[in-house]
Structure 1
Amino acid sequence: MRIPNIYRLGVKELWSLVRDPMMLVLIAYTFTLSIYVAATAMPESLHNAPIAIVDEDGSPLSARIISSLYPPHFKPPSMVSLAEVDAGMDSGQYTFVLDIPPNFQRDVLAGHTPALQLNVDATLMSQAFTGNGYIQQIITSEVSEFVQRYRSSAAAPVDLVLHMRFNPNLEQAWFGSLMEIINNVTMLSIILTGAALIREREHGTLEHLLVMPVTPTEIMLAKVWSMGLVVLLAALMALVFVVQGALGVPIEGSVALFMLAAALHLFATTSLGIFLATLARSMPQFGMLLVLVLLPLQMLSGGATPRESMPALVQNVMLFAPTTHFVSVGQAILYRGAGIAVVWPQLLAILVIGTVFFFASLARFRKTISQMA
């Protein structure tokens, strides 16, 4: 294995990438607009939910309940009549319609338990479930304070003081943008290395390499370092200019340490991309394999849902995936400011998994080349 061969072959891969405009567009979109959209266009489950009120009581208590349903969780309530409820919900104009019955305030002050009707459009399932709970809490609180005629100051048996760490305002953009970078590093590294190998096979340049004094290890290492370098630089620019610059998301930890973790992760994912490319005969087949592999890696690695909420079998199986450890490292460094003393076990796990992936891909690559020869 000769370093100059690996370097020159890697430069060849970079020139091939430069001549592929669609890949350049994909890289630019993935690490710019995709991250911005993921951070800003995916609000929390209850945001500006449309709500209508049928106020059949017209009392100070009903006015108090109406005034408590305000943005950003709800849009300003629309006052409608009882006859307009079904038409509004059928057209999708309202997600929630609250019907306050006649004599509601009188019955509350008399110690009765009057019923309010809340109509929910359950086609928006997550918003409906969350909004239902919000509205119940708001009504209960407002009725209780109205009956007491003042805000309760009685000391509770337990005084719970909440402190939001790392994201005090619970900003969705902080979480969405950083997790999008982590997911895009995985996706693009697999796509670039796999597409590079398939492109050479389709263009016939792989046969040219076979008659040159280069080894399969040199060919594979060249693809790993060149495509990994492209993704690494794109991720760094996205972290600095998009996340910190355009979105204003603070980074708690060391960017250099995160780049080190990303480099180790790229060693594993680029090897995986080559392995998938040796299984596929064409780009459409590679795309189908990518869907089967990429979705579980992203959905079950802890980026979208905490691993603790998954079945034990899934948690144990996903320990063999590099994305699981990369997500853990990325969240620890970028969110909590963790140092090398905290994340070194995950870095070691990524390195071990990457080494296994590399040698497995190398064995498969050698077999593929021997069949072509």
Structure 2
Amino acid sequence: MKYILRLLESPFWALVRKEFRQILRNKQLIVLLIVPPTVQLLIYGTALNPDVHNLRLGVIDYANVEASRELVSAMTSNRVFILESVPTSEKELSRQVEEGKLDVGVIIPPEFPRRLAQKSAEIQVFIDGVDANTAGIASGYMNQIIQQYNRGLAQVQTSSFVSPQVVFLYNPGLTSSWFFVPGVMGLVLTLIGTLVSAVTVVKEKDTGTLEQLLMTPAADWEILLSKIVPLVLLMMGDVLLALTLGLVVFNLPFRGNFLLFFGLSSMYLFVGISLGMMLATITRSQQQVVLTSFFINMPLVQTSGAIAPIEAMPPFFQVLSLLNPLRHYITIVRGILLKGVGIDVLWMNVLALVGFAVVLMTISVKRFRSQLS
């Protein structure tokens, strides 16, 4: 209780209250926080539908005979499937699909050669259905490859064939919006968070109120943090709005932990707003900050996997996307909402967000300190 009272009486809390009052008086800012996210979610969730290739394949070949090896070779002879993993068990294969390391998993049973000699053999195919478009393409190509393989068998032995049993995981109906809406949620939070926070600080530069902060008995990090915290709290309303639209309009499932989702979303908002604050420290006017914001945000969006899968990008950009905080947040959102995974699977993405938050906050504080001095 003593620490709470001390916080309420501190200069930091006074600055936070001032920022809340200032934001709530700005009606244009309130509209910006509500209307664009709603419109963008509805448009992108309905309209987007890109193509993909270079799908990651995992194979368990229990038979391990010439016929099964030829089937695996047929699957990987083009650029649609790339053999990424050869797990030793079905549990390991399922885990790799769940963690997003594989797009397609194939199990060739031990009785494959015997069944093939008896005119019919079945294999099990698991496809990650989170991205409905990718899953549909994977299913179509898998069927084409197996049909071609069967035609090759027909030249050797009549009427023997392989039939795949395809199972779509996490998105059985292959609904495209289930892939796009989580990506658009991250996209909207990035655009709104960076732009609003940057414009808020630059506006204080233009009006001269930034210099008045020199008179406050607060540390420079307290001044900067007092601008970030109110925006994070207000933009959590955008997170709730986007989630509600996803659940109500697009029937998006929510299979994970509710508190984990909102906790990690608030962490990403902190990253996005810190990025906006950093942009505000390197620009001199609202026009400059808007142009710079779009210059920074467009590459973030294009390399995040929000619109087009990362597997469809050139290898250089796939590696470069690891430095994109939006990529990690979208992975977190899709993992929690569609797969129901927890921190044990998403810990690398969480650590990445923490790292981005620390780096951006450190740079912003140093730049902010130099401007105040």
Tell me if TM exceeds 0.5. yes
Partner of 1:194: 198
Deviates more, 1:193-202 or 1:158-167: 158-167
Q: Give the structure 2 partner of residue 334 of structure 1.
A: 337
1:62 corresponds in structure 2 to none
Helix, strand or coil at the partner of 1:168:
coil
Among 21, 29, 33, the residue aligned to 1:27: 33
Return the alpha-carbon distance in structure 2 between the equivalents of residues 353 and 156 of structure 1: 56
Q: Name the residue aligned to 1:65.
A: none
User: SS state of the match for residue 253, structure 1?
Assistant: coil
Match of 2:172, SS? coil
CA–CA separation in structure 2 for the residues paired with 1:181 and 1:192: 16
Q: Show CA shifts across 1:75-105 (max 9, x none).
A: xxxxxxxxxxxxxxxxxxxxxxxxxxxxxxx
1:163 maps onto 2:196 in alignment: no
**Shift of the alpha carbon at 1:279?**
1.0
Give the corresponding residue for 2:79. none
Offset, 1:221: 0.5
Identify the range of structure 1 (219-228 vs 168-177) with the bigger mean alpha-carbon deviation: 168-177
- CA deviation profile, 1:107-128 (whole Å, cap 9, x unmatched): xxxxxxxxxxxxxxxxxxxxxx
- State the secondary structure of the residue aligned to 2:330: helix
Matched, 1:8 2:14: yes
Aligned to 2:290, which of 287, 291, 294?
A: 287
CA RMSD, aligned part only? 2.4
Task: Quote the sequence identity (%).
Answer: 29
Mapped partners of 2:294, 2:331: distance in 1: 23
Cα separation, 1, equivalents of 2:283 and 2:336: 36
1:237 aligns with 2:241: yes
Say yes or no: does 1:359 pair with 2:362.
yes
- Within a 5 Å distance, the mapping from 1:263-282 to structure 2 comes to 263-282=266-285
Q: Which amino acid letter does the alignment assign opposite residue 176 of structure 1? A: F
Q: 2:247, 2:253 within 8 Å by CA — same for their partners in 1?
A: yes
Give aligned pairs, total: 264
What letter matches 2:191 in structure 1?
Answer: M
Pairwise mapping of residues 1-373 of structure 1 onto structure 2 (< 5 A)?
Answer: 3=7, 4-42=10-48, 157-239=161-243, 241-370=244-373
The whole-number CA distance in structure 1 between the counterparts of 2:42 and 2:305 is 21
Q: Which amino acid aligns with 2:211?
A: E
Q: Which runs of 5+ in 1 are unaligned?
A: 46-129, 138-153
Deviation at 1:282, TM superposition (A): 0.8
TM norm structure 1 = 0.66
Task: Return the letter of the residue paired with 2:166.
Answer: L
1:156 Cα offset (Å): 6.2
Shift of 1:34: 2.3
Contact 2:11 2:216 in 1 (8 A): no
- Once the two structures are TM-superposed, the CA of residue 44 in structure 1 deviates from its matched residue by 7.3
Measured after TM superposition, the shift of residue 283 of structure 1 is 1.0
Separation in 2, partners of 1:364, 1:228: 21
TM-score normalised to the size of structure 2? 0.66
Say whether the 8 Å CA contact 1:31–1:235 is kept in structure 2: no
Q: Kindly state the Cα deviation for residue 16 of structure 1 after the two structures are TM-superposed.
A: 1.6
Provide Cα deviations, 1:327-347, integer angstroms capped at 9, x if missing partner.
221121112111111111211
CA deviation after TM superposition for structure 1 residue 167, in Å: 1.6
8 Å CA contact 1:44, 1:172 repeated in 2: no
Q: Distance in 1 between matches of 2:350 and 2:338?
A: 17
Are the counterparts in 1 of residues 178 and 252 from structure 2 also a CA contact under 8 Å?
Answer: yes
